[in-house]
Amino acid sequence: MSVNIKPLADRVLVEPAAAEEKTAGGIFIPDTAKEKPQRGVVVAVGNGKPDEPMTVKVGDKVLYGKYSGSELALEGKDYLIMRESDILAIV
Amino acid sequence: MSVNIKPLADRVLVEPAAAEEKTAGGIFIPDTAKEKPQRGVVVAVGNGKPDEPMTVKVGDKVLYGKYSGSELALEGKDYLIMRESDILAIV
Amino acid sequence: MSVNIKPLADRVLVEPAAAEEKTAGGIFIPDTAKEKPQRGVVVAVGNGKPDEPMTVKVGDKVLYGKYSGSELALEGKDYLIMRESDILAIV
Amino acid sequence: MSVNIKPLADRVLVEPAAAEEKTAGGIFIPDTAKEKPQRGVVVAVGNGKPDEPMTVKVGDKVLYGKYSGSELALEGKDYLIMRESDILAIV
Amino acid sequence: MSVNIKPLADRVLVEPAAAEEKTAGGIFIPDTAKEKPQRGVVVAVGNGKPDEPMTVKVGDKVLYGKYSGSELALEGKDYLIMRESDILAIV
Amino acid sequence: MSVNIKPLADRVLVEPAAAEEKTAGGIFIPDTAKEKPQRGVVVAVGNGKPDEPMTVKVGDKVLYGKYSGSELALEGKDYLIMRESDILAIV
Amino acid sequence: MSVNIKPLADRVLVEPAAAEEKTAGGIFIPDTAKEKPQRGVVVAVGNGKPDEPMTVKVGDKVLYGKYSGSELALEGKDYLIMRESDILAIV
């Protein structure tokens, strides 16, 4: 869960939670039918904007909107980089 | 009515009031015909934006616009997470 | 004219004036042909936004734009909830 | 030219100048062909926005854009209610 | 070049320079083919917005964008009324 | 390179660099195929906006976006007048 | 990696990392099929906007959105000039 990256300003790097690959009944869902995960863990945090310190910190489990952030591949893993304002809540 | 979630900034978690499942005459309404509820109870409140404390508090019954907020499922129940500015009034 | 509701921020609850149900010649107008009323009475007022106190008060007769506000049914009566900036004038 | 109405904030009530009903050659113009008047007289003025006092006053003859303001009928006469920023000049 | 009109706020009344009515070869250009002039002379100036005094003054020859301002007929002459920010340069 | 013109506010008058009229192989490019120049020399500078002094000065060679500014013909030469924020860099 | 150019305000000149010209299996990818690089090295930095000093500096390896910035050819090499806010993170 450690990555060597410094998000700029009020940006946050989030590792999305893995989507369930089976339905409750045990049927495999093909890749395109899986809904994008909306939960994740914060793995890197920017320094905030001037006079606006960051609220989330590394390790926080967060909820975010379905279409938030840009996808980013780092060392073979997919992350999302988004603004803190795209994060809805800490769970 | 207790949930383990902290909305960010000026966001509010609302549990929508259940929509009536029958019409006055006792006829069941199929799911898609039910109008989305516009009343709910506040179940979690963010810390507000800098210099803008929150007005609503946990337990307030609120009215909100039909298309406000994002739907959020937590432990099998549906909630809405919205900004306080989407709340029209406390009833 | 008393309702148990507190509009948030700079919002105002308005009871629209009843539209005329007959034309001058005594012909009943079907419901969809009636033009939406643009006059009403203020029945509840929010606390205003920070540093912007409210101008209108409960009991004021007001004029507002044709498409202002959201409709709201409270105890079988229809109201409009709008921002004070949607109110054009006090008459 | 006196009306019992108080425009809100930076709004101004204007009585439009009557459009010419005949052409120079004496031909009557049907109602839809008349161009909307762009001159009028200020008949009521709001208190302005905080820290922005009003410039126009009751009695000023003003020019305004063709599509400025909302039409308003008061005691059988048509007025326009607009923001002061819709007024182009005092003549 | 004197007109009895006071533009509001940061507005400027401009008398457009006459467009050439003949081409170099002496052919008359029909009215619709003439390109709108982009040069003009300032004939009246508003008081500016709060804390933003005006830069142009009566008599300045100015350049402005092709579609700037609203046309205004005063005593049989055509003027343009525009915001000072529509003026590109003084020549 | 001297012109008698004073751009307003944060505007800058730029003389675009001439586009190459031949390809490397010596073939003439017809006028419409030439890409608009993106380099130019500043020939006149406004006084800036309140509290925002200008950075570029007369004589600076600048780069600007392909569709920046308005074209302006002065004494038979074509210039571009643009806001300083349209200038990408000094070279 | 040294260029003689001064980006204006909060702009940054970035030299994009070269896209891979072969797939893992050794097949050459035709030019149009190559995805635009999203990594690069900062080669020049503006002075920032008033009261907003720059965070990135020359030599920083940065990530940026796929469609950020304008392409710029300097001495036969392609660069991107973008605002610092287009830079997602330093890696």
Structure confidence by residue, pLDDT tens digits, F31-76: 554 444 589 999 999 999 988 899 999 999 999 988 899 988 888 8
β partners of residue G72 = G79
F79 contacts F9 by C-beta, under 8 angstroms = no
F44: nearest CA in chain E?
E89
Q: What is the pLDDT of residue E20?
A: 53
Q: Is residue A4 part of a domain?
A: no
Contacts of D88 in chain E (CB under 8 A): 7-8, 11, 70, 72, 81
pLDDT band at G32 (very low <50, low <70, confident <90, very high): low
Closest Cα in chain B, distance from residue A42 (Å): 14
pLDDT at site D25: 61
Write down the pLDDT at residue G81. Answer: 95
What would the pLDDT profile of D22-49 be if each residue is shown by its tens digit?
Answer: 555 655 555 554 444 589 999 999 999 9
Give me the residues of C, 36-75, that contact D with CB < 8 A: 51-52, 55-56, 63, 65
* Separation of alpha carbons E62 and E59, rounded Å: 9
Q: Does F17 touch chain E (CB under 8 A)?
A: no
- Which of the given ranges, B3-7, C15-19, G31-35, has the highest pLDDT on average? B3-7
- Give per-residue burial for C18-38: e unless 16+ CB within 10 Å, then b: eeeeeeeeeeeeeeeeeeebb
Query: Does a structural domain hold residue F64?
Result: yes
Q: Residue B23 is part of which domain span?
A: 11-90
Identify the CATH number of the domain in which residue C75 sits.
2.30.33.40
% of chain G residues with pLDDT over 90: 52
* Nearest-by-Cβ selection for D52 from E47, E50, E74: E50
Q: Is the dihedral of CA A16, A17, A21, A22 positive or negative?
A: negative
| First-last CA distance in chain E | 18
For a pLDDT cut of 90, what percent of chain A falls above it? 53
Kindly report the average pLDDT of chain D as a whole number: 83
Q: Is C85 on the interface with D (CB under 8 A)?
A: yes
Flag whether D12 is in a domain. Answer: no
Q: Are C48 and C72 in contact (CB under 8 A)?
A: no
Nearest by CB: G8 against F51, F52, F89: F89
Provide the 10 A C-beta neighbour count for residue A23: 10
Closest residue in G to F87 (Cα–Cα): G8
Instruction: Output the pLDDT for position C4.
Output: 87
Give the model's confidence band at G37: pLDDT under 50 very low, under 70 low, under 90 confident, else very high.
low
Chain mean position to CA F16: 4
pLDDT for D87 beyond 60: yes
Nearest residue on chain G to A11, alpha-carbon basis: G88
Dihedral sign, CA of C58, C63, C68, C73? positive
- The pLDDT, as a whole number, for residue B37 is 52
Q: Which of E51, E52, E88 sits opposite F8 (nearest CB)?
A: E88
Query: Does residue C83 register a pLDDT over 90?
Result: yes
Give the mean pLDDT of G9-24.
Answer: 79
* Residue E31 backbone zone (phi > 0: left; psi -120 to 50: alpha; other: beta): alpha
Average pLDDT, chain C: 83
Which residue would you say has higher pLDDT here, D4 or C43? C43
Residues of G within 8 A of F14 (CB-CB) are none
DSSP E56: -
Residue E6 lies in a domain: no
Q: Is residue E81 situated within a structural domain?
A: yes
Chain B neighbors of A52, CB-CB under 8 A = 50
Between F38 and G55, the more confident residue is G55
Q: Nearest Cα to B63, choosing from B84, B79, B45?
A: B84
Mutate to test the interface with D, among E8, E11, E42 (most CBs of D within 10 A): E8
Residue C5 falls inside a structural domain = no
Q: What is the mean pLDDT of residues C12-23?
A: 77
Listed in order, strand segments (DSSP E) in G1-91 are 6-7, 11-16, 39-45, 61-64, 70-74, 77-83, 87-90
Q: Give residue G26's pLDDT.
A: 58
Q: Is the pLDDT of residue G7 over 70?
A: yes
Partners of chain B (3+ Cβ pairs below 8 A) = A, C
Across the interface, do D89 and E8 touch by the CB < 8 Å criterion?
Answer: yes
**Smallest CA–CA distance from C66 into chain D, residue:** D70
Distance from CA of G75 to the nearest CA of A (A): 30
Domain assignment of residue B3, yes or no: no
Average pLDDT over residues A5-29: 77
Q: Tell me if G26 is assigned to some domain.
A: no
Q: How far is the CA of G58 from the CAs of C44, F20, G9, G42, in angstroms?
A: 59, 32, 15, 5
The yes-or-no verdict on residue B70 having pLDDT over 50 is yes
The CA distance from D34 to the nearest CA of chain C, in Å, is 24
* Contact between C5 and B65 using a beta-carbon 8 Å cutoff: no
Closest by Cα among B35, B55, B37 to B45: B55
Cα separation of E72 and E85, whole Å? Answer: 18
Domain count, chain F: 1
Q: What share of chain E is helix, strand, coil (3-state, %, to 5)?
A: 5, 45, 50
User: What integer is the mean pLDDT of C36-61?
Assistant: 90
Mutation site for C-interface testing, chosen from B20, B38, B88, B90 by largest number of C Cβ within 10 Å: B88
Over the stretch A53-68, which tens digit does the pLDDT of each residue have?
A: 999 999 999 999 888 9
Query: Which pLDDT band, with edges at 50, 70 and 90, does G36 fall under?
Result: very low
| Mean pLDDT of all residues belonging to chain E | 83
A82 touches chain G (CB under 8 A): no
**Structural tokens at position C75:** 């105890």
